Amino acid sequence: MVHRLQHAAGRRFGFLPVRTWEDAVSAVLRRPVELAVVDASLEGQPRAQGIERLNALFPSLPLILYTALTAEMATVFLQLGRSGIRRVLVERHDDHPSCLADALVTEAAHAVSRRLIEAIGDLLAACPRELRWAIETVLREPAEVQSVKALAERARMDRRTCVRWFARAHLPPPSDTLMALRVVYAHRLLQDPGYTVEDVATRLGYGQTRSLTMNMKDVLGMTPGEARVSLTPEGVLHLVRQRYFARAAVAIAEAS
């Protein structure tokens, strides 16, 4: 089944196979996992509990149930339906490469990073394609872009050119943009009960949890714990757009 997924996805997705539900939880906490393809028979006998736990801990994580159709699976389907799992692919019935590819692309669009990229897409319209892709990488692979130098290298330009393009697009300095986007992403992850502040700091590539706390205080005026319970994701995005990207939004409005 993993081989079929890899064949259908081509280069669009990378896969991290796991053998237990504990490994699955650990992978989501530590790696940039944005879509889970799960089998109720992962540990042998078909059971709903592992998938239900994953869904309860990380409700923002899109899930696809991909499994074999057996008599024992009927009860599992019923349980998972009650838990809100709707996307089901049955082995040998729904796993033609085109069906698998469509399912992966459709569900991946609901990932946290994809939703955030869509939410800030208008602000990046004035950037060259390479720079826009590099900024989006801050959300797709947050642990991989930790500095303005790394951002410029991703965009295949030197640091000075990168800074000039940010100014031309009416964006805040690259360092402020990186911090603001990482804070928005961190807050989104903290809405899932399965993440601690330490987990989010690790996943986003912070060397210390204290650094994430300082960034959230700078951007939101709150600690991660305070922001988690006091602000909605929409509220955080609105606040960040006003504080950091107001000039870009005005420039877009004037251009239109």
Q: Residue 217 and residue 71: Cα distance in Å, rounded?
A: 53
Assess contact for 127 and 169: CB atoms under 8 A.
yes
pTM of the model: 0.87
CATH of the domain at 8: 3.40.50.2300
pLDDT 10s digits, 193-228: 999 999 999 989 898 999 999 999 999 999 999 999
**DSSP line for 60-96:** TS-EEEEE---TTHHHHHHHHHHTT---EEETTTS--
Domain with residue 161: its CATH number is: 1.10.10.60
Last residue of a domain, one of 108, 134, 161: 108
pLDDT tens, position by position, 84-125: 777 888 888 888 999 889 999 899 888 888 998 898 888 888
In three-state secondary structure terms, 146 is coil
Amino acid at 3: H
Same domain, 55 and 173: no
Are residues 247 and 123 part of one domain? Answer: yes
Range of the domain at 78: 2-108
119 with 51, same domain? no
Q: Which of 63, 74, 68 is nearest to 111 (CA)?
A: 63
Judgement on whether residues 215 and 250 belong to the same structural domain of the protein? yes
Please say whether the dihedral angle defined by the alpha carbons of residues 155, 158, 162 and 165, taken in this order, is positive or negative: negative
For residues 120 and 10, state if they share a domain: no
Q: How many domains does the chain have?
A: 2
Whole-angstrom distance, CA of residue 233 vs CA of residue 168: 28
At residue 76, does pLDDT exceed 90?
Answer: no
pLDDT interval class at 37 (50, 70, 90): very high
